[in-house]
Amino acid sequence: MEFSSKLLEKAVDEMSQLPGVGKRTALRLVLHLLGQPKENTLQLAEALSTMRNDIKFCKNCNNISDTDLCEICSNPNRVEDVICVVEDIRDVMAIENTSSFKGLYHVLGGKISPMDGVGPNDLNIEPLVQKAREGKIKELIFALGSTMEGDTTNFYIYKQIQEFNITTSTIARGISVGNELEYTDEITLGRSIINRIPFETSLKS
């Protein structure tokens, strides 16, 4: 792609780093931004920059938050010792939308995936095991989706906490959360949380 402007080229290059955005789409988006009133484009740039600079990760559950302790963890009405293990904030949002879960979350930040070079130490697993060790968990609910990576991650965590006196359960198999929520309606997801099954049972199926 030949550009008559280096500034334009730079913007297109940056935009095309986004997932699913090729050079042509990037050019279309950049030209769109250029056609907008200047303040609109600057507002977008500022929102991105402020988000990147100021965003925090909850020190209890690792969810994306504006404060040190996220709104869910700081809500006194949530059940502290029932913890739902999820991959990322999309899962938290999906489950929160069902209004079927009153416990807290633990956000791993990914799934174990040897193919992608992601091992247990790359994820936020140790703080969860630490909580288990300290007796702060009564029930752990796995909600990682039933991909091979999800299963591997569930099983790894299960092994780590097996020695502690914790009830483990999983949402119904075949239910996808977060990223794949478009395939699952809220009622189905909500029902699968309420009717969660013992983790050991899921291993046998």
- CA dist., res. 83 & res. 140, Å (int): 5
Task: Give the residue with the Cβ less far from Zn ion, 68 or 200.
Answer: 68
Is residue 92 part of the contact set for Zn ion (CB under 5 A)? no
Is residue 86 part of the contact set for Zn ion (CB under 5 A)? no
Torsion of CA 48, 53, 54, 57, to 10 degrees: 100
Is residue 94 part of the contact set for Zn ion (CB under 5 A)? no
Task: Give the residue with the Cβ less far from Zn ion, 63 or 169.
Answer: 63
- CA dist., res. 90 & res. 92, Å (int): 5
Kindly identify the residues of this chain, within the stretch 9-68, that bind Zn ion according to CB under 5 A: 58, 60-61, 63
Phi–psi pair at 80, nearest 5 degrees = -70, -30
Is residue 98 part of the contact set for Zn ion (CB under 5 A)? no
Task: Give the residue with the Cβ less far from Zn ion, 64 or 197.
Answer: 64
């600079």: which residue's tokens? Answer: 53
Please report how many Cα atoms fall inside a 13 Å half-sphere around the Cα of residue 119, on the Cβ side.
1
Is residue 85 part of the contact set for Zn ion (CB under 5 A)? no
CB of 76 to Zn ion, least distance (A): 13
Give the binding site for Zn ion (CB under 5 A).
58, 60-61, 63, 70, 73
